[in-house]
A and B are shown apart, each in its own frame.
Chain A
Amino acid sequence: MSIGSFLLRRLGSGALAILGVSILTFAFLHLVPGDPVDHLAGGDAPPGMRLKIEHCMGLDKPLPLQFLGFLGHVVDGTLGNQCKNGDPSGPSVAARIADVMPHTLWLAVCGMIVALVLALPLGVVAAVRRGSWTDTLATTFSLTGISIPQMLFAPLLILWGFITLGWFPGPTEVGPRAIVLPALAVGTHLMAMLARMTRSSLVEVLGEDYVRTARAKGVPEGRVIAIHALRNALLPVITIAGLQFGSLLSGAIIIENVFSRPGLGATLVEAIRERNYPVVQGAVLVIAAIYVVVNMAVDLAYGLADPRIRRA
């Protein structure tokens, strides 16, 4: 398959998935009990305000038109209006998402760096000493990272880094040092999958003929692992890292909650709570689009990095 037709197919199924997510979200929002106007206006709002919000959200139109209206807002890039106080000229959903996106992106990048720095050595050590106690220890350690709930680990990090040592700023604060603790929390959680993949992939590569050839011609073992084996073994690791990065971009809800950080996940949870249809719909669309694009990018990168894949 050529890269072009591969891309086209993936774009097609990706667009279909995003449309499916939008329809699902839309249907869901309208099926569930509870009036969004009540939430936005508050219980004792004057009837005029209720009408204004209803009109702003388009709730006074038939359902199919409401969905078309949403699609229209996707095309014009605003994703609709937040409809605070029923003001149709107020800030758009896209503006609200753009506000929090830098925080989400920054946390994703830093968390990913922490995860890779922890996972790669652990995975390599486990693979090289496979079957030994070192392997068991390294594997169990990295698994603990995914097993310990973030609801416990993140507060413990705050306790340690902010309260006991006082090295890092606490929740709600911003600045370059404030990212350290959240990034550590995110990174340890991602570490397990990456280390596991590094280990199993390196074990497999170390058994291949070309590695034996390298050893046979007298290449030092460290060089065999670092140069010959690791390069090929890292391909599936990059795939997992890419997918994890994609899911980080849709927000690290618990971490954002514990550290009181703004972010896409926190925004969506807030919007679900206050039944703000336009924001929920818009944020879900953005998250689904990120997922599809990241997936495609990962597949593409994989195909480019390893020509053997493209023939398949």
Chain B
Amino acid sequence: MTGARARTLSPSGRVGLAMLVVYLVVGVLGPWIAPYDLGVAHVELGHQFEPASAAHWLGTDASGRDTLSQLLWGARSALTLSIVVVAISSTIGLALGTAAGWLGGAVDEVVMRIVDVLMAFPGILLNIAIVATVSHPGVPLTIAALCANGWVGYARVARGQVLGLRERDHVTAAVALGASNRRVMWIHLVPNLLGPAMVQMSFGLGSVILIEASLAFLGIGPQLDYTWGAMLDQARNFLWNTSWVRIYAVVPGLAITWVVLGANLFGDGLRDRLDPRQRGRG
């Protein structure tokens, strides 16, 4: 494979990127393009479970509210939550992982022991335990719960990369020239691990949305009005009814699938680009 092609994403990676861009656009514009306001004032009991129509493209739910509008508002909450959680956990994880890998010794030991503990604590159960501490968890608590173990993956990636980078010539040269630890980490290490970190962020974006939806589905998520998980939770009560109602049940699930699949395809594509051995005819 030629050098020029090696710099481009694989077709599936590009598909993933396109899917994420759609999600981004819908998430940003969602509330503005939503055809209906979703406040309590707009509950229309006369319009429960309507099939798709010109007025309600995806029908209505148990309270007569527009499904499409809920979906669009849900995209906004999912986007906000996933970006904030990925930003916070990647910052914490990359900082701790880089420090652990570069400084070694006691720092490494402490960070890795914490990582061990958090890995041994079953993922989503820790999130559930944190969110369940209060009866009406808000968004900040949910973010904290998702970050509490979300940083672990980034720390492992960063540490692994740094251990490999330690012996590189440019790092040795910087140390020989008297660069401080801080300078080595910022200038010589962090830029070199942003690639693998991007891969992890892409996967992280998908898993944040899945976990949030799981929490909402179990009835312990943030008490936001419209999240895809809450829609799925509401939907399971009438999944068995008439076939039109099932639209409401399927739509948020498909939206989640769209985002997570996009994130995974993009992450895979990025990884292949960074690691040519894994690529097609490598």
Contacts and interface: CB of A to CB of B under 8 A. Distances in A.
Contacts of B113: 13, 16-17, 20
B21 interface: no
Contact of B256 (A28, A149, A257): A149
A143 B264 contact: yes
B63 interface: no
A140 B260 CA distance: 12
A232 B85 CA distance: 38
B277 A269 contact: no
A144 B16 CA distance: 12
B214 A149 contact: yes
Contacts of A115: none
Interface stretch (B86-94, B187-195, B232-240): B232-240
Contact of A139 (B214, B232, B268, B279): B268
Contacts of B233: 151
Interface in B232-256: 232-233, 236, 239-240, 246, 249-250, 252-254, 256
Given A13-B116, A20-B117, A152 B232 contact: yes
Nearest to A28: B129
Nearest to B280: A131
Say what secondary structure dominates the interface of chain A. Answer: helix
A287 interface: yes
A268 B218 CA distance: 13
B103 to A, nearest CB: 20
B122 interface: yes
B257 A149 contact: yes
B44 to A, nearest CB: 26
B218 A253 contact: yes
Interface string B60-88: 00000000000000000000000000000
A130 B280 contact: yes
11 contacts: A18-B120, A32-B133, A147-B261, A151-B253, A152-B232, A159-B246, A163-B240, A203-B278, A250-B122, A253-B218, A288-B120
Interface of A: 13, 16-18, 20-21, 24-25, 28, 32-34, 130-131, 135-136, 139-140, 143-144, 146-153, 155-156, 159, 163, 192, 196, 200, 203-204, 207, 247, 250-251, 253-254, 257-258, 265, 268-269, 272-273, 280, 284, 287-288, 291-292
